Amino acid sequence: MRKAVGQLRFAGGVLIVCALLAWARPAFAYSYHSFAYGYSVSVPDDWAQVPDDILAVRSPDLPIVRTQRSTIDVAFQPKRNAKPFEYPFIIVEVVPYSGIGYAQQVSDDEIRSIVKMNTGLDPANPYSPDSQIMEGGAELESLDGVLNMEHENRRYMWSSTSNLSEVGLIRSRQWGFFGRDAIVQVTLYEHGRGSDRLRDMARAVAGSFKFGIGREYQPAFTLGDALQMLKDLFAAPTLGMAVTLVCVGVSVIFALIAIFTARTRGPEYADPRMDQDLSSLVPSDRYEL
């Protein structure tokens, strides 16, 4: 009897853990692929894409801060929303480099300047010295925004709050991704204090983002990169590299041996045909004029 009760308790614990994991990690059933801008992003199965015709009509009137140099490519919202663009919702904006004064892919220094221009915060000092702290969900956040810059991956996360007339407190979480031709910004907008579940969901959505082949950021190959590549290869050589180095080394050794031998050989190794009297090659009959 006690054994059966223990088994039932164990089974119940497994079910509870599975339920918690399923609730904590949203199921992504829909992936959006932008062929125009070369990226893809996934959203949970209880979210839906805002129809393009509604997006075209409503996007100019959205009470959110955005520049005229960006284009809202797509928007998502929970399926339970009664009407379009009820909070919360997610929009994906595309900012071409050509629209902000850059003719080609931006450098790392220019990336930092663009992030500072978009967020108002310096990546080297992501916290405002006069920021006010408020509680949102189960965490404390700055009213003036918090910036997290990932220099190696060339992306950033920026959270901020604002008070809009007739709306109230709006919290936003934005992820910016730098590609070859443009910045793509994925932003969650929610009303009020926000929730941890939405925060985790938005983080998972941003984690699903990726550029298509050829549309990702392409760093310049410098002499420093070449030296670092050689250093990495010699630090952890592969089997193919080891075989190649051995073959090259053996070839160089045999070549040096051949050159040294040719220079040090004595007359006894000379070709006897070279000692042939050249006079024998001249015809014996001479013609006189």
Per residue in 69-117, pLDDT (tens digit) is 788 999 999 999 988 888 999 999 999 999 899 988 999 999 999 998 8
Res 289 pLDDT > 50: no
Res 30 pLDDT > 70: yes
Query: Hey, how many other C-beta atoms are within 10 angstroms of the C-beta on 150?
Result: 11
Res 131 pLDDT > 90: no
Res 195 pLDDT > 80: no
| pLDDT band (50, 70, 90) for residue 118 | confident
Res 156 pLDDT > 90: yes
CA distance 217 to 107: 10
Domain at 23-211, CATH from 3.40.50.620, 1.20.950.20, 3.40.50.980, 3.40.1000.10: 3.40.1000.10
Q: Mean pLDDT check: name the lowest of 85-94, 186-195, 217-226.
A: 217-226
Average pLDDT rounded to a whole number, residues 253-278:
63
User: Contact, 37 vs 67, CB < 8 A?
Assistant: no
- Name the more confident of 47 and 128: 47
CA distance 123 to 278: 85
* 3-state SS string for the chain: CHHHHHHHHHHHHHHHHHHHHHHHCCCEEEEEEECCCCEEEEEECCEEECCHHHHHHHHHHCCCCCCCCCEEEEEEEECCCCCCCCCCEEEEEEEEHHHHCCCCCCCHHHHHHHHHHHHCCECCECECCCCCEEEECCEEEECCCEEEEECCCCEEEEEEEEEECCCEEEEEEEEEEEECCEEEEEEEEEECCCCHHHHHHHHHHHHCCEECCCCECCCCCCHHHHHHHHHHHHHCCCHHHHHHHHHHHHHHHHHHHHHHHHHHCCHHHCCHHHHCCHHHHCCCCCCCC
Q: Mean pLDDT check: name the lowest of 36-40, 42-46, 157-161.
A: 157-161
- Name the more confident of 236 and 186: 186
Domain ranges of the chain: 23-211, 226-256
- Residue 269 φ/ψ, nearest 5 degrees: -95, 5
